[in-house]
Amino acid sequence: MRLGTFHKKKRLLINKIKINFLSFLLSHKSASLLPANSIKSCLLIHDNSKLGDLIVLSALYRALAERGIKLSIISCGVGHAFLKANPGITQFFIKDSNSIPDVLKLRRELARHQFDVVLDPFETLPSFGHALLLSGLRNHYILGFDKWYKRYYSSYHPHDEQLTEHMATRTRVICEHLFGEGVQYDERYDLPLPADVEQQLQDFVGDSKVVIVNPIGAKKICRMSTQQIQLIDSWLKENHPELRIIYTGHPKDLPLIPIKDFETLPFKDFIHAVALTKYCQYVISVDTALVHIASAYDRPTLAFYPKARHEDYPSPIIWAPNNLRAQQVISPTCSAYDIEERVLLDALKRLFQ
């Protein structure tokens, strides 16, 4: 076993012990779920920096707002900037980190509010900071989906324990739990944009037809090789010269793109990349939040995914592009750069057919 893997497993074990110890130390008062027509407020916990989580559950924000329920969300600063234009969200609570002082500060802020329902909809690695946050909400009705925190929930839902469905189906599960079986809601993702950002991108794009290329993800397994990126770029320029190719990605990763004089956005904030997706014609991307944003705006998409590292967590299924106009190409290995040239070219041709 590699030393890094050993230390990671040791940290997970220590966190599990601390989580269980805290649950026994603090008794949980099991609150009851109010009748559907009595639910007026809801708190959703987003305890990581993954924007994909917030996107695939965005239909829930609309469903709650349509029923007059005030939704508050705990998230990081990036999550707040991403969703602040959504009229279905009443309030944000910013969680700076999982450090004990930051979590205790947030708990004190939350103590000034009463929520009819608290949702913990995303699985996380065992984290004492997350357990400490949940323990501060133990007087509320908490619906959760993460088995590590069962003792902190009023109700644990084993939704899709076999992991055969897309994560977006959790919106249906939550709505049925709160409002009853067969409840009707709009399943489409909901990503409103700030008016000024939308106008800036309309002016930037103008009359041009845009294809977004996002070849470098945050994880190393979600990064395309130099040869793959150059192949995509040359194929687009040769076969579709009418298209304006705009590269997107994290600012620190853009210098890694091996293309001469490529175009990127002149704006720094990620919300502008979201707006660009709305006004583009095509999206070509590795497995990142951009794939889910493209699904929200129904953009024709070519998405490159690494093979799942573990059979018990089939990420290409759970986090697939939830979009009928999307193609998903899964690498034969756990790295996107192992997708063969022939497979890549065939996928490009299908996208533009």
Q: Residue for token digits 């009595």? A: 38
Q: Calculate mean pLDDT across residues 107-127.
A: 91
Task: Give the pLDDT confidence of 10-50 residue by residue, as tens digits.
Answer: 676 666 677 666 666 665 556 899 999 999 999 999 988 88
How much is the pLDDT for 3?
45
DSSP state of 156: E
CA atoms of 154 and 174, how far apart (whole Å): 14
Query: Do 215 and 275 fall within a single domain?
Result: yes
Instruction: Give the per-residue pLDDT at 305.
Output: 96
Indicate the residue among 129, 144, 179 that finishes a domain: 179
pLDDT over 70 at 303, yes or no: yes
- Per residue in 200-214, pLDDT (tens digit) is 999 999 999 999 999
Q: What is the pLDDT of residue 26?
A: 62
Give the total number of structural domains in the chain.
2
Which H or E run includes 244?
Answer: strand 243-247
Q: Is residue 190 part of a domain?
A: no
Pair 255, 168 in one domain: no
Residue 241 has pLDDT above 90, yes or no: yes
Which residues make beta-bridge pairs with 286? 304
Residue 106, domain member (yes or no):
yes
Task: Say how many residues make up the chain.
Answer: 353
5 falls within a domain: no
Query: Residue 1: inside a domain, yes or no?
Result: no
Query: Tell me, what's the pLDDT at 1?
Result: 45
The set of residues, in sequence order, having a beta carbon less than 8 Å from that of 348 and lying 6+ positions away, is 232, 235, 236, 284, 302
228 domain residue, yes or no: yes
- Average pLDDT score over residue span 227-252: 97
Q: What is the pLDDT of residue 147?
A: 87
Residue-number span of the structural domain to which 157 is assigned:
11-179
Written as six digits, the tokens of 179 are: 């409002």
Residue 55 has what pLDDT? Answer: 96
Q: How far apart are CA 194 and CA 188, in angstroms?
A: 19
What burial letters (b/e) apply to 103-113, b meaning 16+ CB within 10 Å?
beebeeebeee
Q: Does residue 239 register a pLDDT over 90? A: yes
Reduced to 3 states (helix: H, G, I; strand: E, B; else coil), residue 118 is strand
- Does residue 98 surpass a pLDDT of 90? no
Token pair belonging to 113: 């509010």
Residue 276 to residue 68: CA distance in whole angstroms? 31
pLDDT, greater one: 56 or 162 = 56
Q: Which residues, 6+ apart, have CB-to-CB distance to 235 below 8 Å?
A: 345, 348
* Same domain membership, residue 150 and residue 204: no
Q: What is the mean pLDDT of the chain?
A: 91
Q: Are residues 92 and 208 in the same domain?
A: no
Dihedral (CA of 126, 335, 161, 92) sign: positive
Examine the domain organization and report whether 68 and 122 are in the same domain. yes
Q: Is residue 186 part of a domain?
A: no
Distance CA 163, CA 317 (A): 8
- Average of per-residue pLDDT across 172-177: 96
**Residue that finishes a domain, picked among 179, 208, 226:** 179
111 shares its domain with 22: yes
% of the chain residues with pLDDT over 90: 75
Report yes or no on 284 lying in a domain: yes
Look at residue 184 and tell me if it is in a domain.
no
281/269 Cα distance (integer angstroms)? 21
Domain stops at, among 145, 179, 213: 179
Residues 40 and 166 in one domain: yes
pLDDT for 31 equals: 83
Per-residue pLDDT, 299: 97
Query: Are the CB atoms for 284 and 349 separated by under 8 Å?
Result: no
In angstroms, the CA 111 to CA 114 distance is 7
* Residue in the block written with tokens 């990126």: 229
Q: Are residues 80 and 50 in the same domain?
A: yes
Question: How far is the CA of 175 from the CAs of 90, 108, 154, 181, 197, in angstroms?
Answer: 19, 29, 17, 8, 31
Q: In sequence order, which ranges of 137-220 are alpha helices (DSSP H)?
A: 169-179, 195-205
Same-domain status, 46 and 133: yes
CA–CA distance from 261 to each of 8, 209, 246 (Å)? 41, 19, 11
For 242-276, how does the pLDDT look when each residue is reduced to its tens digit (9 = 90+)? 999 999 999 999 999 999 999 999 999 999 999 99
Q: State whether 159 and 266 are in the same domain.
A: no
Which of 20-34, 61-75, 135-149 comes out lowest in average pLDDT? 20-34
222: closest CA among 294, 315, 352? 315
Helix residue spans in the chain (DSSP H): 3-25, 51-56, 58-66, 77-83, 100-110, 128-135, 169-179, 195-205, 226-239, 270-278, 289-296, 315-318, 341-352
Residue 95 and residue 41 share a domain: yes
pLDDT of the residue at 158: 87
Q: Is 153 found in the same domain as 16?
A: yes
Whole-number pLDDT of residue 10? 63
pLDDT band at 62 (very low <50, low <70, confident <90, very high): very high
Question: For residue 334, what is the domain's CATH number?
Answer: 3.40.50.2000
Nearest to 40 by CA among 153, 154, 141, 155: 141
Per-residue confidence (pLDDT) for residue 6, from 0 to 100: 53
Name the band, by pLDDT with cuts 50, 70 and 90, for residue 123: confident
* 223: DSSP letter: B
